[in-house]
Amino acid sequence: MTAPRTAHFLRFLALLAVIGPGVACAHGWVGAGGSYYRLTQGYGRFEGVYARGVLGERSNTIWNWEIDHGRTFGYEQSYGVLGVTQTFAPRWYGYLSLAGSTNSDVVPKDRVDASLSYKALPDKRLVGTVGYTGIRFRDGHDDRSGWVNFTAYLPAHWVATAGHEWTTSNPGAVQAQRSFAAVGYDASGRTEVTLRYGWGTEAYLPIGANVALVDFRSHTLSVTWRQWLGTDWGTDLFAARFASPYYRQVGGSIGVFYHF
């Protein structure tokens, strides 16, 4: 190996030596699957595969990761995410994630998400979150977003969530705002189902090299279903419909997960 690669490899081994003992006894899950979406107006289809997981459940530090590889608007790319949720106090926790892609013009070159959450009410069943998202694309434009979410944990495993996002895209300082509302049933270890509806405006949507749809309205309806089929494994299903003045998109993903 060359000197730079050797140095990176040694750093990787050192990292494994530090986190390895904790990883061996940590709780979490891993999953893998595939996705397929059909688009109207001659835009073809999206298709791909994914692998993702969570490590450190029921601890103060929870890691999440995801790797996707697929074809979007005729471009093939890989995209990776690494994030961490850190509990600071009984009522406070934060989240930070970094993401990046291979050479593609239609997915973010890099992305950062950061948020801070507070558990309100005596029973901590209302959670308020404020966050920031920064995205850069290879066509030269970037998005900067601030957002707020509220989640209420209701009796009998029901969960309600709503939020709003404000985005500025450059060049041009194009403004966009989006909202969403979701309701879910979360009986972990048995069934988790979430129905989500999002609506509002979008600033830039890259569809090719130096080609983007700009400043338009859209809405999205999706359902997520995680079903345990055994003590420690099951299936993940996701279906979504996206609609805009330019095209409609329908499809989803299916996968399996293993909980440890």
CATH number at residue 220: 2.40.160.40
Query: Which of 124 and 212 is assigned the larger pLDDT?
Result: 124
Q: Which residue has the tokens 């979504």?
A: 240
pLDDT cut 70: percent of the chain above it:
87
Residue matched to tokens 């972990």: 188
Q: Which of 241, 195, 238 is nearest to 218 (CA)?
A: 241
Those residues with Cβ within 8 angstroms of residue 6's Cβ, 6 or more apart along the chain or in another chain: none
Has residue 25 got a pLDDT over 70?
A: no
Task: Give the pLDDT score at 173.
Answer: 87
* Average pLDDT of span 101-117: 88
Its domain, for residue 194, covers 3-259
pLDDT of residue 148: 98
Report which of 162, 161, 130 is spatially closest to residue 147, judged by C-alpha positions: 130
- Taking only the tens place, the pLDDT of each residue in 159-202 is 999 999 999 988 888 899 999 999 999 998 999 999 999 999 98
Per the prediction, the chain carries an average pLDDT of: 89
Q: What is the DSSP letter of 106?
A: S
Q: Dihedral sign, CA of 251, 193, 113, 167?
A: positive
Query: What's the mean pLDDT in 5-16?
Result: 52
**In b/e form, how buried is each residue of 35-70, taking b as 16+ CB within 10 angstroms?**
bebebeeebeebebebebbbbbeeeeebbbbbebeb
Tell me which residue of 138, 115, 124 sits closest to 210, measured CA to CA: 138
More confident residue, 42 or 153: 153
pLDDT at 7 over 90: no
Q: What is the structure's pLDDT at 24?
A: 47
Nearest partner of 159 among 178, 190, 184, judged by Cα: 184
State the Cα–Cα distance between residues 51 and 66, nearest whole angstrom.
6
Q: pLDDT for 57-101, tens place per residue? A: 989 999 999 999 998 887 788 999 999 999 999 999 999 999 999
Whether the pLDDT of residue 203 is over 60: the answer is yes
The token pair that represents 181 in the structure block: 């509302």
* Amino acid occupying residue 205: L
pTM over 0.95, yes/no: no
Of 69, 29, 26, residue with least CA distance to 46: 69
> Rounded mean pLDDT of 153-158?
96
Number of domains present in the structure of the chain = 1
Whole-number Å distance between alpha carbons of 213 and 18: 46
Compute the distance between CA of residue 194 and CA of residue 158 in angstroms, rounded to an integer: 10
Share of the chain above pLDDT 90, in %: 71
| Structure token pair of residue 58 | 């029921």
Q: Could you tell me which residues are beta bridge partners of residue 145?
A: 133, 167
The pLDDT of 194-214, averaged and rounded, is: 79
d(CA 158, CA 125): 11
